[in-house]
Amino acid sequence: MQQEKSSPDTARKKRIALSANSGKKAQKANHSTHPIVQLQNVKRIYTLGENKIYALNGVSFAIKKGDFVTIMGSSGSGKSTLLNMIGCLDLPSSGKVKVNNVDLSKLDDDGLTAIRRNNIGFIFQQFNLIPTLTALENVEIPMIFNGESPARRRKKALAMLKNADLPLEYANHKPNEMSGGQQQRVAIARALANNPPILLADEPTGNLDTKTGHNIMELLKELNAAGTTVIVVTHDPKLEEYAHTTIRIQDGEIIE
Ligand SMILES: Nc1ncnc2c1ncn2[C@@H]1O[C@H](COP(=O)(O)OP(=O)(O)O)[C@@H](O)[C@H]1O
Ligand SMILES: [Mg+2]
């Protein structure tokens, strides 16, 4: 795996200030008590033949706007299932999930798509970039779905890549021409393309070496300081130091 250098703090701070995601939102980054995510007794049961798997077995918690949360647990504890609930990618078997005070169970598919589009950015361990598209084009994809004009898309995508500290000479590179850390930066820029208030990350450093993983977590920390609520799920105890709040999950239940 390739390492990456961290960039100078001052330059980075400037970029964060320039970010489309800061501005008004930064002023609101006051860690207010309003929960932006709420789960009430959420269960997710998978049925495999005769067997029932309680991937989530009655999970309740609330996450405050502006928080930086890590959800920690070993492999198979239900972390991805949980994050998919918050990200409107999956619905509970029972219980309630609210995002921005909207009860997801009351929405149809279009409603869920709208909530997801307006509120959620998602990043993954495997980056999940489209291999045939350049970095810039990958970041533009969510803006196309959001109906932005081509000129505005390009301009915004470049700003998002810059904000994610991708050296601009990589803007026209395809994923296989970039290191893991660079691909994750593109994925973060894409996740933030529509300025969502919530960024969800599923093991975002799992495919990166320690130093690059640290740089990515630093970037998430800066985005959080600029107003984005960040929720990271991980089995890596080292990531806990970045969080304001830690939630522990074991066998589909919150243990702390
Ligand atoms: N689509 C599925 N079908 C059946 N079982 C699943 C499915 N997805 C996850 N599980 C099971 O649910 C549990 C929690 O999985 P997951 O949320 O992926 O855990 P984690 O992300 O913490 O590793 C595991 O036992 C897993 O095998
Ligand atoms: Mg997982």
Please write the tens of the pLDDT for every residue from 166-215. 999 999 999 999 999 999 999 999 999 989 999 999 999 999 999 999 99
Please compute the mean of the pLDDT values over residues 211-232 and round it to a whole number.
96
Q: 8-17, 48-57, 123-132, 203-212: lowest mean pLDDT where?
A: 8-17
Ligand 2 centre to CA of 164 (Å) is: 24
pLDDT of residue 34: 73
Which atom of ligand 1 approaches the CA of 48 most closely? Answer: 4
pLDDT at 145: 84
**Number of Cβ atoms within 10 Å of the Cβ of 240:** 13
Quick one: how many helices (H) and strands (E) in the chain? 8, 10
Q: What pLDDT does 32 receive?
A: 53
15 pLDDT higher than 80? no
Tell me the average pLDDT across 145-171. Answer: 94
Minimum mean pLDDT range among 19-23, 60-64, 98-102? 19-23
Residues with CB under 5 A from ligand 2 (ion): 79-80
Q: What is the CA(173)–ligand 2 centre distance, in A?
A: 29
Q: Is 195 within 8 Å of 147 (Cβ atoms)?
A: no
pTM of the model: 0.88
Mean model confidence pLDDT for the chain: 89
Q: Which atom of ligand 1 is nearest to the CA of 56?
A: 14
Domain 35-254 has CATH 1.10.1070.11: no
The verdict on the CB of residue 81 being under 6 Å from ligand 1 is yes
Is the predicted pLDDT of residue 78 greater than 80, yes or no?
yes
C-beta 51 within 6 A of ligand 1? no
Going 244 to 64 to 88 to 22, the CA torsion angle's sign is negative
pLDDT at 22 (0 to 100): 41
d(CA 23, CA 159) in angstroms, rounded, equals 13
Q: How confident is the model at residue 146 (pLDDT cuts 50, 70, 90)?
A: confident
The answer on pLDDT for 245 being more than 70 is yes
| Distance of CA 85 from the midpoint of ligand 1 (Å) | 13
pLDDT surpasses 80 at 56: yes
Mean pLDDT over residues 29-54, rounded? 86
- Host H or E run for residue 254: strand 253-254
- The full set of domain ranges for the chain reads 35-254
The residue whose CA is least distant from atom 11 of ligand 1 is: 55
Ligand 2 centre and the CA of 64: distance in Å?
23
Distance, in Å, from the CA atom of 199 to the CA atom of 103, rounded to the nearest integer, reads 19
What average pLDDT does this structure show over 10-25? Answer: 44
- Residue located nearest, by CA, to atom 26 of ligand 1: 76
Task: Please give the distance, rounded to the nearest whole angstrom, from the Cα atom of residue 79 to the centre of ligand 2.
Answer: 5
Model confidence at 256, in pLDDT bands (50, 70, 90)? confident
Amino acid (1-letter code) at residue 56: L
Asked whether the predicted pLDDT for residue 24 surpasses 90, the reply is no
Instruction: Answer yes or no: are the C-beta atoms of 157 and 136 closer than 8 Å.
Output: yes
Of the candidates 102, 96, 100, 178, the one whose C-alpha atom is nearest the C-alpha of residue 136 is 178
CB of 55 within 6 A of ligand 1: the answer is yes
Confidence of residue 83 (pLDDT cuts 50, 70, 90): very high
Instruction: Give SS3 for 5.
Output: coil
pLDDT above 70 coverage of the chain, percent: 87
Highest mean pLDDT out of 32-41, 139-148, 185-194: 185-194
Best of 44, 51, 52, 53 to mutate for ligand 1, by most ligand atoms within 8 A of CB? Answer: 53
